[in-house]
Amino acid sequence: MFYHCYLFLSLALLLSACSPTKRPYTQAKANHSLIDSSLNILFLGDLAWGENYQLRNEQRGRENILTTRGYGYSFQKVLPILDKAPLIIANYESTITNLANSPLKQVKNYLHKGNPLYVPNWLKKYNIQLLSLANNHALDYGHEGLLQTQHYLREAGLQYFGAGLNIAEAATPYRQTFKLNGKILNLYVLGWMEYRKSYSQQGKYAFYADSAKSGVNYWDEERILTQIRNIRRQDSAAFIVAFPHWGKNYRWRSKKQISIAHAIIAAGADVLIGHGAHKVQEIEKYRKKWICYNMGNFVFNSSGRYQKEEVKPYSIAILLEIKPEYQLGEYRLTLLPIFSDNRITNYQPRSLSKEEFLDMSHLLMNKSSFQHQEEAFISIDSSQHIIRLK
């Protein structure tokens, strides 16, 4: 009896999620949030509970931390970071689906599958209410899996951007209006995934949305630069955040990333905050705007390959602060470092020790190659283990 009820409920949820009459909600309503003091927004890097990785551990006779310790276990040592801001934006690098099989089972090595009974509730519990779906795992369970992901997020009252029923929806930025001490600020967050042929129509996976197919937003130079220019030209109160998923895993930035980032800032973006490489990448000040090429991981429950790739397991979260006295386009960033090697932390990412923070700061500053005049805008606080960018 219970089994048949469960099947009926699962089928109902699937049909509801995939109904063509229910369009994904990819943009915030044009509401006004009144802010008397500073506007604080927290950006998190790659986020996934890693059900597929943990199930594999279990099948190999190792601990599955999700079943033995629960979905809150991996967040315990990073909870202070989540208290930094009322608005939290993350790259959710998984699906939320009850589908048993993926159409990519025989062609894609890592298929991410989030549990719909837990993931939406834990996202809500931690106030992670806005998610980018523009990444290379959003369609791991096909287009039905993407529709289910969006359905479960909407059902939990969470918002998303970067994916949709077609390219128009996938490319729609998150937008919210804030009234900051009497001044209007319209926040735009544009999410997209870098272009990879293997994810295109000509490739193996076909993740990218087009005019007639659901999928994720992807880097198209003319289209995205034109979109940023149009926002800048049409909205005098716009504050534009570029939020790309890009970069090679466990590597520093590439020349192509630099070229794209400079073009994005030149087109009118106020700040670029990237994710996807599973490690922190360089920071740069370009045309008086900050580029943080990659945050790396927040909570990402795979074992990771830091030791195999011989890279330091450093990531960051980023707090963006806009004060009432700032002119439009002015802001401050605070980099909040994270130790991301799950093989060492047993799937509990944490803040850095004093020695680790000094090592990361030295490494990041050397790799970023700042000019002397730019160093005046960087403050390394060894007592709090944070880096401030002004």
Is-contact 357 385, C-beta < 8 A? Answer: yes
Say which DSSP state 259 is in.
H
> Rounded to whole angstroms, what are the CA distances from 302 to 57, 107, 116, 306?
10, 20, 19, 11
Instruction: Please state, in angstroms and rounded to a whole number, the distance separating the CA atoms of residues 24 and 33.
Output: 23
- What percentage of the chain carries pLDDT values higher than 70? 89
SS3 label, residue 70 = coil
Digit-coded pLDDT (tens) for 217-261: 999 999 999 999 999 999 999 999 999 999 999 999 999 999 999
Residue 36: the pLDDT is 58
Q: Domain coordinates of the chain in residue numbers?
A: 37-389
In 3D space, the residue among 142, 187, 186, 185 whose CA is nearest the CA of residue 163 turns out to be 142
Q: Does domain 37-389 have CATH number 3.40.50?
A: no
- pTM of the entire predicted model: 0.91
88 within 8 A of 79, measured Cβ to Cβ:
no
Helix-strand-coil split of the chain, %, nearest 5: 30, 25, 40
pLDDT at 373: 61
Instruction: Look at residue 372 in the predicted model and tell me its pLDDT.
Output: 60
Distance in angstroms (rounded) separating the CA atoms of residues 294 and 299:
15
Structure token digits, residue 179 = 């009234």
Give backbone dihedrals phi and psi of 122, rounded to 5 degrees, phi first. Answer: -75, -35
Which pLDDT belongs to residue 2?
Answer: 34
Q: How many residues does the chain have?
A: 390
Alpha carbons 104 and 116: distance in angstroms, whole number = 20
pLDDT value of position 181: 82
Strand, helix or coil at 121?
A: helix
Taking 50 as the pLDDT cut, the residues of the chain under it are 1-31
> Using DSSP, how many helices (H) and how many strands (E) does the chain show?
12, 18
Burial 88-125 (b: 16+ CB within 10 A, else e): bbbbbbbbbbbbeebbbeeebeebbbbbbebbbebbee
Three-state DSSP class for residue 278: coil
- For residue range 265-291, what is the model confidence (pLDDT) as tens digits? 999 999 999 999 999 999 999 999 999
Predicted confidence at residue 78, as pLDDT, reads 98
Per-residue pLDDT tens over the stretch 158-178 = 999 999 999 999 999 999 999
Residue found under tokens 């705007």? 289
CA distance linking residue 180 with residue 168, whole number of Å:
30
